[in-house]
Amino acid sequence: MVSEEGLEKGMFAKIRVFLEMIKFSHTVFALPFAFTGAVLAADGMPSAHQVFWILMAMVGARTAAMGMNRLIDAEIDARNPRTASRAIPAGLIGTGTVALFIVLSILLMLYAAWQLNPLCLYLSPVALFFLGLYSYCKRFTSLAHVVLGICLAAAPLGAWIAIRGTVEVPAILLGLAVLFWVAGFDILYALQDLDFDRASGLHSIPVRLGVNGSLWAARVFHLVMLGLLAGLYLSAGLGPWFLAGLAATIAMLGYEHWLLRHGDLTKLDAAFFTMNGYISITLFVATLADVLAGRGGV
């Protein structure tokens, strides 16, 4: 008979495996942009209530999205040498447990949206649709990277709606900037699976364009992102702190593409994880400093 302590240890072990499976630490990519949208919408610091429930909505949405992706792609992951050691193919966690965590995450997202405002709750099914769609895209379209961008673009747009209950030009520009940023770095990330995807009949921009074409596509996407951020600077009436953050972002994106300029994927961790994490945090800090400076707080 299993003791209560044993059950608790087993559950915590499953939670640890699940959090590692969905790369919970990578929330750093989207979360700062959500708070960037919130700070801009509030023209300062949002309330503690708003910050907490935006955080919960983000955690729920991203956890559900990654859980669905791992569950839907489990058979493909099992055949891909790069992903065969993931939790589901490796038998470290069952599909039923993953499905339970997904349901709980969706419920958390919906409850958080309800706590924020009615429009957030009404738009939640749209966000869930795109979160689910992304996992299937590679089976029929090369634009999976764009769909992923749409999913993460919901972070700043949703946070803006959470604060103001409306959709306005700065929120759209920031959301589009995130879309092109994410799509660009996901193209680079997908280069790892180019040979496997081709052999398996899966779709991606690397499969369609090859290595060199993909590098150029990612560069174009990131140039569009920078143009949209410049538009945000003008439309939101931001100042020197934001410009400093934008300059730092240009430098980091340039370094990211320089690292991968010859398609050398041995430097992907530095280019993908490190640089993009720094970019999202830098833009949030720059935006917050600018907004607070405008109100005499910095």
Output the tens digit of pLDDT for each of the chain's 298 residues.
445 555 445 666 666 776 666 565 556 678 999 999 999 999 999 999 999 999 999 999 988 998 899 999 999 999 999 889 888 988 888 899 889 999 999 999 999 999 999 999 999 999 999 999 999 999 999 999 999 999 999 999 999 999 999 999 999 999 999 999 999 999 998 999 999 999 999 999 999 999 999 999 999 999 999 999 999 999 999 999 999 999 999 999 998 898 888 777 777 765 666 788 889 999 999 999 999 987 655 5
CB-CB contact of 181 with 189 (8 Å)? no
> How many angstroms separate the first and last alpha carbons of the chain?
61
Q: Is there a domain that residue 58 lies in?
A: yes
pLDDT computed for residue 78 by the predictor = 94
- Residue 211: name the closest of 255, 247, 169, 265 by CA: 265
Q: Spell out the alpha helix ranges (H) of the chain.
A: 4-21, 31-42, 48-72, 74-79, 95-116, 118-137, 144-164, 169-190, 194-200, 205-235, 240-259, 268, 275-294
Q: Is there a domain that residue 12 lies in?
A: no
Q: Is there a domain that residue 6 lies in?
A: no
Q: For position 66, which CATH number holds?
A: 1.10.357.140
Domain count, the chain: 1
CB-based burial of residue 193 (10 Å sphere; 0-12 exposed, 13-18 middle, 19+ buried)? buried
Q: For residue 165, give its domain range.
A: 26-293
pLDDT computed for residue 7 by the predictor = 47
Alpha-carbon span 197 to 146, nearest angstrom:
17
259: amino acid identity, one letter: L
Q: Is there a domain that residue 16 lies in?
A: no
Q: Is there a domain that residue 9 lies in?
A: no
Q: Is there a domain that residue 298 lies in?
A: no
Q: Is there a domain that residue 245 lies in?
A: yes
Tokens for 241, please give them. 């702190």
Alpha-carbon span 92 to 70, nearest angstrom:
13
Q: Is there a domain that residue 274 lies in?
A: yes
